[in-house]
Amino acid sequence: MTVDTIVYSADGRTPWEDPAAARDADGTTWVRVVDPPADALDEVADAYDIHPLEIEDALGNVRPKVEEFDDHTFVLVKDATLRRGDVTFAEELRVLQTAFFLGDDWLVTVEPQRVEAIETVWERVNREEPRLASRGADFTAYRCIDHVVDDYFSILDDIEDDIEAVEDEVVDAAGGDVLERINDLRRDLLSVRRLLWPTREAVGVLARGDPVQISEDTEKYYRDVYDHLVQLVELVETYRDLTSGARDIYLNALSMSTNDVMKKLTVVATVILPLTFVAGVYGMNFGGSPVNMPELGWQYGYPAVMVGMGAMAGILLVYFRQENWL
Amino acid sequence: MTVDTIVYSADGRTPWEDPAAARDADGTTWVRVVDPPADALDEVADAYDIHPLEIEDALGNVRPKVEEFDDHTFVLVKDATLRRGDVTFAEELRVLQTAFFLGDDWLVTVEPQRVEAIETVWERVNREEPRLASRGADFTAYRCIDHVVDDYFSILDDIEDDIEAVEDEVVDAAGGDVLERINDLRRDLLSVRRLLWPTREAVGVLARGDPVQISEDTEKYYRDVYDHLVQLVELVETYRDLTSGARDIYLNALSMSTNDVMKKLTVVATVILPLTFVAGVYGMNFGGSPVNMPELGWQYGYPAVMVGMGAMAGILLVYFRQENWL
Amino acid sequence: MTVDTIVYSADGRTPWEDPAAARDADGTTWVRVVDPPADALDEVADAYDIHPLEIEDALGNVRPKVEEFDDHTFVLVKDATLRRGDVTFAEELRVLQTAFFLGDDWLVTVEPQRVEAIETVWERVNREEPRLASRGADFTAYRCIDHVVDDYFSILDDIEDDIEAVEDEVVDAAGGDVLERINDLRRDLLSVRRLLWPTREAVGVLARGDPVQISEDTEKYYRDVYDHLVQLVELVETYRDLTSGARDIYLNALSMSTNDVMKKLTVVATVILPLTFVAGVYGMNFGGSPVNMPELGWQYGYPAVMVGMGAMAGILLVYFRQENWL
Amino acid sequence: MTVDTIVYSADGRTPWEDPAAARDADGTTWVRVVDPPADALDEVADAYDIHPLEIEDALGNVRPKVEEFDDHTFVLVKDATLRRGDVTFAEELRVLQTAFFLGDDWLVTVEPQRVEAIETVWERVNREEPRLASRGADFTAYRCIDHVVDDYFSILDDIEDDIEAVEDEVVDAAGGDVLERINDLRRDLLSVRRLLWPTREAVGVLARGDPVQISEDTEKYYRDVYDHLVQLVELVETYRDLTSGARDIYLNALSMSTNDVMKKLTVVATVILPLTFVAGVYGMNFGGSPVNMPELGWQYGYPAVMVGMGAMAGILLVYFRQENWL
Amino acid sequence: MTVDTIVYSADGRTPWEDPAAARDADGTTWVRVVDPPADALDEVADAYDIHPLEIEDALGNVRPKVEEFDDHTFVLVKDATLRRGDVTFAEELRVLQTAFFLGDDWLVTVEPQRVEAIETVWERVNREEPRLASRGADFTAYRCIDHVVDDYFSILDDIEDDIEAVEDEVVDAAGGDVLERINDLRRDLLSVRRLLWPTREAVGVLARGDPVQISEDTEKYYRDVYDHLVQLVELVETYRDLTSGARDIYLNALSMSTNDVMKKLTVVATVILPLTFVAGVYGMNFGGSPVNMPELGWQYGYPAVMVGMGAMAGILLVYFRQENWL
Ligand SMILES: [Mg+2]
Ligand SMILES: [Mg+2]
Ligand SMILES: [Mg+2]
Ligand SMILES: [Mg+2]
Ligand SMILES: [Mg+2]
Ligand SMILES: [Mg+2]
Ligand SMILES: [Mg+2]
Ligand SMILES: [Mg+2]
Ligand SMILES: [Mg+2]
Ligand SMILES: [Mg+2]
Ligand SMILES: [Mg+2]
Ligand SMILES: [Mg+2]
Ligand SMILES: [Mg+2]
Ligand SMILES: [Mg+2]
Ligand SMILES: [Mg+2]
Ligand SMILES: [Mg+2]
Ligand SMILES: [Mg+2]
Ligand SMILES: [Mg+2]
Ligand SMILES: [Mg+2]
Ligand SMILES: [Mg+2]
Ligand SMILES: [Mg+2]
Ligand SMILES: [Mg+2]
Ligand SMILES: [Mg+2]
Ligand SMILES: [Mg+2]
Ligand SMILES: [Mg+2]
Ligand SMILES: [Mg+2]
Ligand SMILES: [Mg+2]
Ligand SMILES: [Mg+2]
Ligand SMILES: [Mg+2]
Ligand SMILES: [Mg+2]
Ligand SMILES: [Mg+2]
């Protein structure tokens, strides 16, 4: 576990040893807790009046949400990244969460596992980027959430590439695993949607400026993130529709393939079976009477039969060619 | 039928003989009724001003719900457990209900059949667990409901295992009962959903703190249960989608199998029928003229025909192999 | 047409000759009109200030509904019973309606055809059942509506039996009429749903106690009926899902049957066609050279070929058995 | 173009030459405009303060709607009739629209093409039907709209007949155009739904009595029309479900037919191919050794083989009959 | 980048050099910015108090929307045109956006790429069309948005043509790419819907007159555009239903084709195989006994067999013809 505390303002930034004491320092206080053991947050929770149920949610596995408490707002969001090459689906979509406790001039963040998006903002605050330093805790929380939401765009870009790859393959219905891959894509989209819906709902609360900690100015920024989330949710729905379309085309290609196979079989049977029958006729052993198979003894009997059979086959093949069966 | 009464506070706990008299005792009163005969609740109902319609619902088979009455709130929840190895679906999902009558400082619970989750909380209260003893009747009711909701997570864990097992089987479409098993899973999910939806609605009423009996402090805990129920409802929807995906893959595997069978048949017919025709030709009995089947008398006639037929078969097999039909 | 009027109170009951005069009698007045000719309601309508449009609805064929008028509330519900053995669907689900005109201390009911459920309550009122007699017109209306709603439970029990019967049959996909029966069930459920939805809506209005004629005490009873209707609507949705599941299994059984038939055909063709080819070869008439079919003259030529063909067939059959095609 | 103006009251009716002047006449004024050229409405529009955008909608092709203006309410409804025997769908469903401009004591109606339903009401007003004459412009508008809505019932009755006709045909899946006819029905229902939904919405506004021009008394009548529209929308949904069911049964009949064809083919192949093989065996030319086809010379060889083959065929046919393949 | 500024009123129009200075000029100011580089809007933004986030949205790729700011309203709409003959879908539907910043008496429009619909309105304003010149900035914005929405009608007309073309082809299920074309149409409709929904929402805000910049008079015009958008959304849903119907018919045609192929194969096999068997029988070499194939020596043996086989084939063909298999 690491607990880092910084107090910053337009004038500069000061790292702080004791997170509890930093609450009342001049400027904006950010206490960042990464990878805490189960019971290690008691001190910080006490100093910032955080309820045990909030701590439980921050460390547990719950849906993204916003809850307003007496003197702070609790925000929980989930960062997601898609890792390729893994086998199990659960490992592929890596979901990490961050809890924000947003007070008037302080922010406590808790990451059960280090989140890249938060790391980025932390480093910017520590490098005293002017835009961040001169604004309050609500703006810093916005920057973090913005980075988290941007990660979803990368995931959907990846999924879009996959959909395009799958679409190129469905037409010939060759590999039987195309449907499984489509199903996996739908599954990914399902998971992403389950993350996006409550996130959109939660950011909507912030964008409407319900919590008192969100200043009117920062509200506009939350509205921007909210727009992104609406767009992401739409993308997910669109991609699900595209995968449905790909699946339909695939299944149709399979039906057409079966139809083609049946046509080939029918052509072969229709051409060969009558010829075999004719050959069978002239293999019969009738005799002893002038009307019993006199053809067998005709001078050009055999060539005539062969030519006849060739003509029969030829006519049938031409017919099937015209019917587009060949 | 058993009727147990206990009065507890931070100072200690006292079992009480007469449930009616216990209502006005100092501390929190919990009257627990298990397995009552149809008309045996009149005394308790009278003492606690419980309406006959509430008693009917408590003993009957109705949906989970919350109803506010003049001086108490009626809450009905259903505990569910999944029992494996049974044949009929109705027996597999075992649903037991508990009715809560929640007053200012008293709680009456009615279990038509003993519910394990309530048993657990009852035992904790009787062992004077400090956290429970120092809080009011609303918190005890919360603990019971929390245990009931946790049971749903076990059910969904079981169903998830089943889905994974089914997913491993659908690809080869071997056993015809895979679809029935998928259908059974969907049926289970349907039943669980029918239980979860009204439960979520009812707990939502408690989480918003509508009834006056819910203190502002306990409200947070009900909000936590509500979160779990939202998550459960989402899980059910996700699992239904997964079963749909599994069904699609299964049906596709069946179509591909039919396609493969047709291809095999077509290969066999296409290779063998022409050969049989050729053999038929040389089984014909033409003769008596130099152009009538002179091949039959050629020195290497038979080997030539055999080689020719072998070549024909070989070429066709190579072609089918290239077309991926073999 | 029959018009019966009764005035009842906790003190007793009095049949009344003139429905118009009974309106102002002491106690609760119930005017019950059964099977009236098109224009015969004018007198009653005048006496109780019922609008011509209400009479039109009461005798016509409209959706269940509640409408509040100045001094009374108009309630229209539909009783449904399922009659087996009939051919047309429209006759099978027998739908009868009852209109309630509910005033402060009077109730006018109009049944275009006699409704069993209303009959039952009428007889109870006339036998002076204490619970009914001591309560107002709103409670009597509740009792009628409660009986009507209970009839829906019988219908759904019947439909559940049908679903179970159909489910037992779908697996072998033998009879082609299973799908038609499933479709009929879906149609029944559709009709029942169309009746239940507006009924639920209408009873919801009564359960919220919107009309002034509904006393706070009776409201609880309407809430109970409302609960039943919610449960019925859920049951209908569940049963529709079950029929979908049954249909899927049936269609799958058909696909599997086609697959099995194809496999059988392929086995027969694959085993017999090569043998026939071999027999054809040895039926050829080559000769006049030591390399032309010397096998024909070998001492054990025939037994060898027969054994070879037997071996070939045996190997193929073992292979198909291993592939589970037999 | 025709512009007819009438002023009517309980006392009688007067045709009026100048529509503009009629506005302030005593009694209710109805200006009926039929088939106006594009720019011919300016005079009427000016006299009754109708906005150019309203005129545009009245003559254009927009959705049914209600819009309130300062001193009048604009209502647009669409009358639909189904004409059989036409080829294109667009011609089959003939949709005509009427615009109502409803003032305090005046009504302007605009029909781009003459609408039968309006014609009927116009004639009744001109024959001084007492019920219409003694009521205001809002009641006359109601009568027109009521007639328009009744036309939808005829359409749905026609569609119901079509559905029943289609249902009788789907089972044998004979004609390939059944599905096209079902699709056409669905298309009709789609079009009707698109007309009904906004109409229901618009009449709902009138039924709630939002516009000041609707008197409390006439409101009840609009509520009645609204009920009809709700019923029509439900009918459309029901009919769509019925067509889905018919389509399922049709497609299933096709699958069953394919299954039957395959079974027939399999029976033929299974019975004949082994017999052909046996005949092929005894057509082989082995000889020159006592073990080479001695059967050929046995006294009852031929009858024995024929009986054997007959027995084989018989056994197979009995087996297939038992399996219900024949 | 081009920045054009014009100030117009009923008196005339004046082009203006400096967009910033034009804000306070008498009359309505329109600043039109086309194709600006990323950072070139700072000056205009400063002069008109436009927030950086608005500029980001104006140049970025976000959903259509309306946002109200302190002294102006931000409106973003997307113009779409369908270009045929391109390969990739993304290129086919060309989507351009325009941002409107609508103040009391000024309008700033930003087009990242020149939009034809805006061009048209710009030219009309510059030609001093009286209707436009005498109205405020809100009416000019309306004219632009109206033109943009009209473009969607062209797209849907094109799509309707495509649907009709596809519908003519689906019946014979000849080309395998029909389903792909249907899928492409569904994709187009999906994209258009994704544009239309937020546009409808945004214009709904304007039509309700929420922003103070929209005068009550112009509100009616926005209501008209809103109507169009509602109609467009309905059209999209209708067209999606039509494509579903076309897809069903296509897939059914494919199933019927497979069924027909199977029937043809079965007819061929059923007619020829028995004949071949008979020929095989008379090709057997039994002999040396009067009961061993005496038919072979009968005087009319061969003609009798040939006639028998012809009769057999004829009977079967007549049977299949009656069964409608031929
Ligand atoms: Mg979750
Ligand atoms: Mg994107
Ligand atoms: Mg991309
Ligand atoms: Mg994946
Ligand atoms: Mg997988
Ligand atoms: Mg996209
Ligand atoms: Mg229930
Ligand atoms: Mg779990
Ligand atoms: Mg899983
Ligand atoms: Mg199960
Ligand atoms: Mg089962
Ligand atoms: Mg159930
Ligand atoms: Mg999960
Ligand atoms: Mg109805
Ligand atoms: Mg029928
Ligand atoms: Mg029940
Ligand atoms: Mg059941
Ligand atoms: Mg039935
Ligand atoms: Mg049930
Ligand atoms: Mg329209
Ligand atoms: Mg009807
Ligand atoms: Mg039609
Ligand atoms: Mg058509
Ligand atoms: Mg009907
Ligand atoms: Mg977008
Ligand atoms: Mg059009
Ligand atoms: Mg069309
Ligand atoms: Mg396209
Ligand atoms: Mg494509
Ligand atoms: Mg797209
Ligand atoms: Mg249209």
- Read off the pLDDT band of C266 (50, 70, 90): very high
Percent of chain E with pLDDT over 90: 39
Is the Cβ–Cβ distance between A214 and A145 less than 8 Å?
no
Pick from C234, C269, C292: CB nearest B265: C269
Pick from B63, B67, B258: CB nearest C230: B63
- Read off the pLDDT band of D76 (50, 70, 90): very high
Task: Give me the mean pLDDT over the E267-274 stretch.
Answer: 91
The 8-class DSSP code of residue D288 comes to S
Write out the residues surrounding ion ligand 20, Cβ under 5 A.
D 63; E 231
pLDDT of E87 over the 80 cut: no
Phi, psi torsion values for C284, nearest 5 degrees: -70, 155
pLDDT of A158 over the 90 cut: no
Query: A265-324, pLDDT tens digit by residue?
Result: 999 999 999 999 988 888 888 888 888 888 888 888 888 889 999 999 999 999 999 888
Residues of CATH 1.20.58 domain(s) within chain B?
261-322
CA distance C261 to chain B (A): 10
**Quick one: pLDDT at residue A315?**
94
Interface check A264 vs E, CB under 8 A: no
pLDDT of D90 over the 60 cut: no
Is the Cβ–Cβ distance between C62 and C76 less than 8 Å?
yes
Does the beta-carbon distance from E270 to D265 stay under 8 Å? yes
What angle do the packed helices D137-170 and D116-126 form, to 10 degrees?
A: 140
Does the beta-carbon distance from E270 to D275 stay under 8 Å? no
Per-residue tens of pLDDT for chain B, all 326 residues: 889 999 998 888 899 999 999 999 999 999 999 999 877 788 899 999 999 999 999 998 888 999 999 899 999 999 988 876 655 544 578 889 999 999 999 999 999 999 999 999 999 998 877 777 778 899 999 999 999 999 998 888 888 888 888 887 777 665 667 888 888 888 888 888 988 999 999 999 999 888 998 988 889 889 989 999 998 999 999 899 889 888 888 888 888 888 889 999 999 999 999 999 988 888 888 888 888 888 888 888 888 888 999 999 999 999 999 888 88
pLDDT of C232 over the 70 cut: yes
Does the beta-carbon distance from A285 to E285 stay under 8 Å? yes
Lowest mean pLDDT among A289-293, C250-254, C320-324, D169-173: D169-173
Q: And the tokens for D120? A: 């009927």
pLDDT of E86 over the 80 cut: no
Start-to-end C-alpha separation, chain D: 71
**A261-322 CATH, one of 1.25.40, 3.30.1490, 1.20.58, 2.20.110:** 1.20.58
Query: B142-197, pLDDT tens digit by residue?
Result: 999 999 999 998 888 888 888 888 887 777 665 667 888 888 888 888 888 988 99
Does the beta-carbon distance from A254 to B259 stay under 8 Å? yes
Query: A71-107, pLDDT tens digit by residue?
Result: 999 999 999 888 766 555 445 788 899 999 999 999 9
Length of chain B: 326
- Read off the pLDDT band of C267 (50, 70, 90): very high
Does the beta-carbon distance from A248 to E275 stay under 8 Å? no
**Quick one: pLDDT at residue B82?**
82
Interface check C288 vs D, CB under 8 A: no
- Read off the pLDDT band of D77 (50, 70, 90): very high
Angstrom distance (rounded) from CA D151 to CA D114:
15
Query: D226-261, pLDDT tens digit by residue?
Result: 999 998 999 999 899 889 888 888 888 888 888 889
Angstrom distance (rounded) from CA E204 to CA E112:
25
Please name the chains neighbouring C, where neighbouring means 3+ C-beta pairs under 8 angstroms: B, D
DSSP string, D204-219: HHHHTT-STTS-HHHH
Interface check D292 vs C, CB under 8 A: yes
Angstrom distance (rounded) from CA C195 to CA D237:
14
- The alpha carbon of residue D42 and the mean position of all alpha carbons in its chain are separated, in whole angstroms, by 37
**Quick one: pLDDT at residue B147?**
92
Query: E42-56, pLDDT tens digit by residue?
Result: 889 999 999 999 999
Angstrom distance (rounded) from CA B225 to CA B227:
5
Residue C309 neighbours by CB distance under 10 Å = 17
Angstrom distance (rounded) from CA A307 to CA A278:
12
Angstrom distance (rounded) from CA A53 to CA D253:
59
Percent of chain A with pLDDT over 70: 96
Is the Cβ–Cβ distance between E31 and E22 less than 8 Å?
yes
Angstrom distance (rounded) from CA A110 to CA A75:
11
DSSP string, B162-211: HHHHHHHHHTTT-STTHHHHHHHHHHHHHHHHHHHHHHHHHHHHHHTT-S
Chain C residues lying within 8 Å of B261, measured CB to CB: 259, 262-263, 266
Strands, E assignment, chain D: 2-9, 12-16, 28-34, 65-68, 73-82, 93-102, 106-111
Interface check A216 vs E, CB under 8 A: no
CA nearest neighbour of A283 among E291, D279, D307: D279
What is the ipTM score, two decimals? Answer: 0.80
Angstrom distance (rounded) from CA D136 to CA D214:
9
Angstrom distance (rounded) from CA B50 to CA C159:
36
Q: Which fold has domain A2-254?
A: Beta Polymerase; domain 2 (3.30.460)
Pick from A266, A288, A291: CB nearest E303: A291
Mean pLDDT (chain B, rounded): 88
Q: And the tokens for E8? A: 């117009």
Mean pLDDT (chain C, rounded): 88
Mutate to test the interface with D, among C78, C95, C179 (most CBs of D within 10 A): C179
Pick from B224, B242, B283: CB nearest A53: B224
- Read off the pLDDT band of C145 (50, 70, 90): very high
H-helix or E-strand containing B249? Answer: helix B216-281
pLDDT of C168 over the 60 cut: yes
Does the beta-carbon distance from A282 to B284 stay under 8 Å? yes
E100 CA → ligand 3 middle, Å: 28
DSSP string, E167-178: HHHHTT--STTH
Angstrom distance (rounded) from CA D274 to CA D269:
8
The burial class, CB within 10 Å (0-12 / 13-18 / 19+), for C24 is exposed
Angstrom distance (rounded) from CA B325 to CA A260:
13
**Quick one: pLDDT at residue D252?**
84
**Quick one: pLDDT at residue D110?**
96
CA nearest neighbour of B98 among B123, B82, B125, B116: B116
Angstrom distance (rounded) from CA C254 to CA B258:
12
Continuous H helices in chain C: 19-22, 42-47, 52-59, 89-92, 116-126, 130-133, 137-170, 178-207, 216-281, 301-322
| A30 or E83, which is more confident | A30
Q: Taking the alpha carbons of B243, B247, B249, B250 in that order, is the dihedral positive or negative?
A: positive
Does the beta-carbon distance from A259 to E257 stay under 8 Å? yes
Q: Scan residues 233-262 of B and list those with Cβ closer than 8 Å to C.
A: 247, 251, 254-255, 257-258, 261-262
**Quick one: pLDDT at residue D176?**
61
Strand D106-111: give its sheet, edge to edge. D12-16, D2-9, D28-34, D106-111, D93-102, D73-82, D65-68
Is the Cβ–Cβ distance between B44 and B106 less than 8 Å?
no
Pick from E266, E273, E292: CB nearest D301: E292
- Read off the pLDDT band of A19 (50, 70, 90): very high
- Read off the pLDDT band of A108 (50, 70, 90): very high
Angstrom distance (rounded) from CA A187 to CA E234:
30
DSSP string, C65-94: EEEE-SS-EEEEEEEEEE-TT-SSHHHHEE
Q: Which ligand is nearest to the CA of E186?
A: 28
Tokens 């393949």: give the residue. D325
| A131 or D33, which is more confident | D33
Q: How many CA atoms lie within 13 A of E155 on its CB side?
A: 27
Start-to-end C-alpha separation, chain C: 71
Strand pairing report for C28-34 and C106-111: parallel
Pick from E179, E254, E272: CB nearest A273: E272
- The alpha carbon of residue C325 and the mean position of all alpha carbons in its chain are separated, in whole angstroms, by 41
Angstrom distance (rounded) from CA D101 to CA D208:
18
Residues of CATH 3.30.460.20 domain(s) within chain E?
2-254
Chain A residues lying within 8 Å of B231, measured CB to CB: 62-63
Angstrom distance (rounded) from CA E283 to CA B283:
9
Does the beta-carbon distance from E238 to D194 stay under 8 Å? yes
| E38 or E173, which is more confident | E38
Lowest mean pLDDT among A41-55, C133-147, D172-186, E311-325: D172-186
Q: Scan residues 177-196 of B and list those with Cβ closer than 8 Å to C.
A: 179-180, 183, 186-187, 190-191, 194
In sequence order, the 6+-apart residues with CB closer than 8 A to the CB of B116 are B79, B81
Strands, E assignment, chain B: 2-9, 12-16, 28-34, 65-68, 73-82, 93-102, 106-111
Mean pLDDT (chain E, rounded): 87
Task: Give me the mean pLDDT over the A200-215 stretch.
Answer: 90
Interface check D280 vs C, CB under 8 A: yes
B100 CA → ligand 17 middle, Å: 29
Query: C59-111, pLDDT tens digit by residue?
Result: 988 889 999 998 999 999 999 888 766 555 445 788 899 999 999 999 999 99
Query: D109-123, pLDDT tens digit by residue?
Result: 999 999 999 999 999
Does the beta-carbon distance from C299 to D292 stay under 8 Å? yes
pLDDT of E75 over the 90 cut: yes
Task: Give me the mean pLDDT over the C255-269 stretch.
Answer: 89
